[in-house]
Chain A
Amino acid sequence: MEASKVIHAIYTDDDVLMSAVKKVKAENHHIEEIYTPFPVHGLDKAMGLAPTRIAITSFMYGCVGLTVAIVMMNFIMIKDWPQDIGGKPSFSYLENMPAFVPIMFELTVFFAAHLMVITFYLRSRMWPFKKAENPDPRTTDDHFLMEVTVHNNESELTSLLKDTGAVEINIVDKEEDAH
């Protein structure tokens, strides 16, 4: 397999990049990855990436947090030791619920927020001491890089990418175990 060879096309303008992505997609080439220094609006749509489901996970984490809060306080305040504290009715959870709402709310938000962030880190493989996957350091400053896989069509791809306004085109041997 020659999938280990990729083309790196470098752009200096996000508008040029966007039209390049559309052109490359129209020619039915597979875009491996795009590196940009900042979020480019609409890039995910142009690349045809599936929408994120992180909001759904967050909702579910929130439900977990709410459940934890309810079960915890029901056990502590109602079941385990239903003490009379300042006349608050601890006969059932519902009767004393208003007093628990601030904690229910905060734990819902806490779980939804933190677990979602951790999910994000896991899914995007980010952690301290991780080796940066950056093919070209300029892509963190002012350059945009499109990585396209080569399947015995080097010259065709090169001319296509040249046409789209790439300022620099490199053919790179990709090490499979780089990340």
Chain B
Amino acid sequence: MEYKISNRLKMSAIVLIVLGLLGVGYGFMDSHKVNEDNISEYLANQAHHGDHGDADNHSVASHGEESHSDAHGESVSHAEEGHGDEAHDGGHEMSHEEHVLHQIHNRPWAALYVAAFFFFMIALGVLAFYAIQYAAQAGWSPVLFRVMEGITAYVLPGALIVLLIAVASGTIGHYNLFVWMDPEVVEHDKLIQGKSGYLNLTWFVIRGIIFISGWSLYRHFSRKFSLAQDKADDNKNFKKNFRISAAFLVFYIYTESMMSWDWIMSVDPHWFSTLFGWYVFASMFVSGITVIAMISIYLKSKGLLEFVNDSHIHDLAKFMFGISIFWTYLWFSQFMLIWYSNIPEEVTYFVTRIEDYKLPFFGMLAMNFIFPLLLLMNSDYKRINWFVIMAGIVILCGHYIDVFNMIMPATVGERWFIGIPELGSILLFAGLFLWIVFTALGKAPLLAKGNPFIKESEHFHY
């Protein structure tokens, strides 16, 4: 079955990108309206409006918060160096203003980064799922291979964008995402100094390039062999794909773990967790599977995937259900171990989140666990397309909030909001994602007919 991206879809993608760019641009302009000259006025106004109670309370609360946030080192060092000569009514007050200013300036960067990472992580999750299907020689999924290949077309551009934003935030930006990129912070921070062998910009970029080239090389060759298999009269290409998939999975599980330390965990360079890589993996895996299901249902509704039947959707929904629970298991294992032992240097991570992000932090648990648990438990519901779509939307929103919860507390602290910068970034990358994915879907027939398992897959019945 041939598919061509429709003009309507292309137009919607462009509209999304334009709206997104406007939103992102507005976010950057808006955040820079507040600067060193008017920050005191801004804070006074805010206190006046009763946003954070009275000014005294706020300064005490946020000071307590600073003591466990890594922005602490940053704000103190700025007060000491950058603004030591400016008129100040007490270093304490000054450091608070610096701190707030940074959070305000970080917001559009963080919003952009969260959305970029979210869409990239969907594509990488699909790539891992695809490799697993090959390595496991799954008999049910080959009819979905072309859909997966279409989605993984976003891995390369998506990953490059994430890396570029990360590097840009530390070069053209003012260290808006990763405080360890700021030499002034590192100078005053013994902990980051100790980690600077790993956390330095050069190595960060080199590692990022290694990850991205490994993933996209696998994606490139796997797609190539998959297309070649369509025309081949033996299984040579399939066997090659089997081998590189197995090798990729080994590479993937190492690089995915390190990527999660680099691109996510290091926004909190004082904090570490051993199962973090798995946790991020579960998040990307479930989002990826959800997107496979949603795009398959969309294409099927257009009459383009008539070889995909209810049982395939049922299997994907089972994966959505199972991996949602797996994600919860890892989330809880990470949370409960840290909550239980309550070691100050570890627990601050969750203290910030519970104090300042109560709704998103526990809301995502409802969206990522309770909702799919109750909706997708029934076997019949997993075959109803609109049901899977609805559950999928909730799961995707939940995992966006998951990434949001990982990045935002370290960058904007209690000054978070899901407003124009965040929504604009989501629209921007959603448009880009749709465009790239659906263009890639149009480049090859939607049935991988040369695959030795394709007959079994077409007749798959559960």
Spell out A's residues near B (CB within 8 Å).
Answer: 55, 59, 87, 98-99, 101
Contacts and interface: CB of A to CB of B under 8 A. Distances in A.
A55 B379 contact: yes
A101 B377 CA distance: 20
Contacts of B379: 55
B342 A87 contact: yes
A53 to B, nearest CB: 12
A99 B340 contact: yes
Contact of B336 (A55, A59, A87, A101): A101
Q: Is the interface of B mostly helix, strand, loop or mixed?
A: helix
Contacts of B335: 98
B332 interface: yes
Interface of B: 332, 335-336, 339-340, 342, 377, 379
Contacts of B336: 98-99, 101
B334 to A, nearest CB: 11
Contact of B340 (A55, A59, A98): A98
A101 B340 contact: no
Contacts of B332: 98, 101
B374 to A, nearest CB: 10
B410 to A, nearest CB: 23
Contact of B377 (A59, A87, A98, A99): A59
Contacts of A87: 342
A101 B335 CA distance: 12
A98 B339 contact: yes
A87 B332 CA distance: 20
* 8 cross-chain pairs, A with B, having the tightest CB-CB distances, nearest first: A98-B336, A98-B339, A99-B340, A101-B332, A101-B336, A98-B340, A98-B335, A59-B377
Query: Which residue, A55, A87, A98, A101, has most C-beta atoms of chain B within 10 A?
Result: A98
Contacts of A101: 332, 336
Contacts of A55: 379
Contacts of A99: 336, 340
Given A98-B332, A99-B336, A99-B340, 9 more contacts: A55-B379, A59-B377, A87-B342, A98-B335, A98-B336, A98-B339, A98-B340, A101-B332, A101-B336
A101 B332 CA distance: 9
A39 to B, nearest CB: 15
A100 to B, nearest CB: 10
B324 to A, nearest CB: 15
Nearest to B335: A98
B43 to A, nearest CB: 33
12 contacts: A55-B379, A59-B377, A87-B342, A98-B332, A98-B335, A98-B336, A98-B339, A98-B340, A99-B336, A99-B340, A101-B332, A101-B336
A117 B339 CA distance: 36
Nearest to A42: B461
Contacts of A98: 332, 335-336, 339-340
A57 to B, nearest CB: 14
B461 to A, nearest CB: 10
